[in-house]
Amino acid sequence: MPRPVLTALLVVMLGSGLAACATTPPAGPVTASGSSTPTVSATPTPTLTPTMSATPTATPTDTPDDGALVLRGDGLGAYAFGAKQLDVTALLEESLGEPDESSQGVRCELDDGSPWAQTVSWGSFWVEYDAKDSSKKSPRTLAAWGTSVDAPLPDPLVLQDDLPLAATFAQLKTAYPSGKLEDLGLGDGSKRFVLPNKIFYVGSGNRPANIQAGVFSTCE
């Protein structure tokens, strides 16, 4: 009878030992998982933010004159030659009011290929709108502007590059040596002085009468 008691005790002791051994392993893996928790990759991200402050430096170039409407060698205000008449008219009437005069017809009746043109003026300042053909019904676009040197420009008009309103051809040639003085071949001494910015002075003798830009024809 003593043998079954010993085997029972052995079974109990082995069972409790195995149970004890089975519960101890989890203590090891916990330390392994704890060692992988530090996430260092998030720290470098703040270094990207200072580069964003460099972009606003490109904007200051877009601060032109205070409400002035600039007469340029390639157009006027925000519009270049070739802009729709409706858009340019809205800008000019907003700035100058209703025009003093308007006339239209074939630009040069001596030229069969001359387009239909409309000239609108405010005092001595005028703009020309041309069609692509000789039809009055065809849409027109901004083709030229001009003004007399004998009258001040109406506000808010200003000349590009602060050009002088009144100057002799000799003075212009001295002040702008890269400009080009050319005879118009009319036999009366008419000439024009073309500046690098494409604005030109037109007149006879040594004194210009007009400042213009855009299409130019003598209709002779």
Say if 195 falls within a structural domain. Answer: yes
CA 32 to chain CA centroid, Å, is 61
The predicted structure's pLDDT at residue 45 = 46
pLDDT bucket at 103, cuts 50 / 70 / 90: very high
Average pLDDT score, the chain = 79
Residue 59 or 98, more confident:
98
∠ Cα 146 151 156 (to 5°) = 70
Query: What is the SS3 assignment for 77?
Result: coil
pLDDT tens-place string over residues 37-92: 444 444 444 444 444 444 333 333 333 456 899 999 999 999 999 999 999 999 99
How many domains does one find in the chain? Answer: 1
Beta bridge partners of 72: 75
Q: Report the percentage of the chain scoring pLDDT > 90.
A: 65
User: Nearest 10 degrees: CA dihedral of 193, 64, 154, 217?
Assistant: 30
Residue 39 or 95, more confident:
95
Beta-carbon-side half-sphere exposure of residue 117 (alpha carbons within 13 Å): 19
∠ Cα 142 145 147 (to 5°) = 160
Say if 219 falls within a structural domain. Answer: no
pLDDT tens-place string over residues 118-162: 999 999 999 999 999 999 999 999 999 999 999 999 999 999 999
Say if 82 falls within a structural domain. Answer: yes
Say if 3 falls within a structural domain. Answer: no
Say if 94 falls within a structural domain. Answer: yes
Average of pLDDT values for 10-21?
A: 36
* Domain that residue 101 falls in: 69-214
The whole-angstrom separation of Cα 180 and Cα 177 is 8
Tokens representing 133 are 């053909």
Intra-chain end-to-end CA distance of the chain, in Å: 146
The whole-angstrom separation of Cα 124 and Cα 184 is 23
The predicted structure's pLDDT at residue 220 = 73
CB 128 within 8 A of CB 145: yes
The predicted structure's pLDDT at residue 15 = 39
* CB neighbours of residue 43 within 10 Å: 8
Say if 100 falls within a structural domain. Answer: yes
Average of pLDDT values for 199-212?
A: 96
Residue 197: which of 82, 73, 77 has the closest Cα? 73
Beta bridge partners of 84: 141
What's at 197, amino acid-wise?
N
